[in-house]
Amino acid sequence: MAAVEGIPCLYMRAGTSKGAFFLASDLPADPEERDNLLLRIMGTPDPRQIDGLGGADPLTSKVAVIAPSPDNGADVNYLFLQVGVDSAFVTDRQNCGNILAGVGPFAVERGLIQAGNEQTEVRIRMVNTDSNATARFATPDGVVDYNGGLAIDGVPGTAGAIQLDFEGTAGSSTGALFPSGNVLDRVDGVDVTCVDNGMPTVLIRAADLGLRGDESPADLESDGGLGDRLRGVRVEAAKMMGLGDVTDTTVPKLVLLSPPRAGGAIATRSFLPVRVHTSIGVLGALTVGAGLLAEGSIGYGLAVLPSPGSPLGIEHPTGHFDVDVAVDSSPDGFIVTRSAALRTARKIFDGRVFPRPRL
Ligand code: NQM
């Protein structure tokens, strides 16, 4: 039936990513059926995703599934699904803070929440990591205003600001901010910091791999030797993070760190984990930020830290991303006291999507 009539879908650019947003009630309740449908909607598996909505890149092959939240502390539940490009997988093992930027506006567009006359606040339960975020954005006369003056690197032009404030991101996938129990480990002959402030990540000094750290994503992706080396480090580090066998998963991410070059705190290159990010994820940047602030970590000595309370400039291949992260040390170790960032989003189309038939 759905294949004939199409499925209601809002297609949005959210942060530096792009994805298809659905009401949970418009998708099959059975996860296997749902994922099969999403593969056919996105055009996966196919390196060009020519027969679907996917944009032939992990950053544009993303899905958000949103429902009213049964939880008193949240307005909506947000489930993020990463859809493979050339391989047929759909995974809920990672969260996505860029796609999160579209969730509040989607909730207003679909009438899940009553918009305020000037501004709307949406409390979002991030189902993948069992943690919360609050989105605040302009809704003059109760309508989402996607336009505005905020530029984010990696997206041309400007758009309306969406303020994202996070709670409970530290250890949300692994149980601890530093899931190996240390701020510095040695894995497969290289020093690493394993950190999780919403996105399990392995931080590595670019120089330790013979890199400058400002190489282009294309150059890094085409370096087969580097790919093999990173794969080995990632699989070993993941075991120390309690993530088990991660050979076929998208977490943990790997981030190469080098000294800042453009006035920020640190320069980064993020592996997703195979393709290299053209900017950096939101939770990825918040995780790098928390990692840098812990004395003794791999990034601590490399970073040029701003005065406490000032944003941390995370440099990436297409500019920089200012994140607001604060970390305190306590007798029990480091604790994250603030994680916040600004993003923008834009509604591209609202309509019905027609999945290709089962192959
Ligand atoms: O870290 C890509 C993205 C992301 C994730 C990825 C993200 C985040 O930029 O919060 O946004 O790491 O796979 O969309």
- For residue 79, the model assigns a pLDDT of 98
Q: How far is the CA of 15 from the centre of ligand 1 (A)?
A: 9
What percentage of the chain reaches a pLDDT higher than 90?
Answer: 95
- Name all residues whose Cβ lies below 6 A of ligand 1: 16-17, 58-59, 96-98, 199, 250, 253, 272, 281-284
Q: How far is the CA of 82 from the centre of ligand 1 (A)?
A: 10
- For residue 4, the model assigns a pLDDT of 58
Q: Which amino acid is at 158?
A: T
Quickly state the pLDDT bin for 1 (edges 50, 70, 90): very low
Domain ranges of the chain: 3-161+344-353, 185-338
Rounded to two decimals, what is the model's pTM?
A: 0.95
Say whether pLDDT at 18 is over 60.
yes
- Does 185-338 carry CATH code 3.40.50.300? no
Residues 6+ apart with CB under 8 A from 247: 235
The residue whose CB lies within 8 Å of the most ligand 1 atoms, and thus the one to mutate among 95, 96, 283, is 96
The residue whose CB lies within 8 Å of the most ligand 1 atoms, and thus the one to mutate among 12, 13, 17, 339, is 17
- How many other C-beta atoms lie within 10 A of the C-beta of residue 156? 7
Instruction: Please state, in angstroms and rounded to a whole number, the distance separating the CA atoms of residues 312 and 26.
Output: 40
Query: Whose alpha carbon is nearest atom 9 of ligand 1?
Result: 281
Query: Whose alpha carbon is nearest atom 1 of ligand 1?
Result: 281
Domain 3-161+344-353 shares a fold with domain 185-338:
yes
Q: How far is the CA of 81 from the centre of ligand 1 (A)?
A: 11
| CATH class of domain segment(s) 3-161+344-353 | alpha beta
Q: How far is the CA of 287 from the centre of ligand 1 (A)?
A: 11
pLDDT tens column, 144-185: 999 999 999 999 999 999 999 999 999 999 999 999 999 999
Q: Tokens 């040390």 sit at which residue?
A: 329
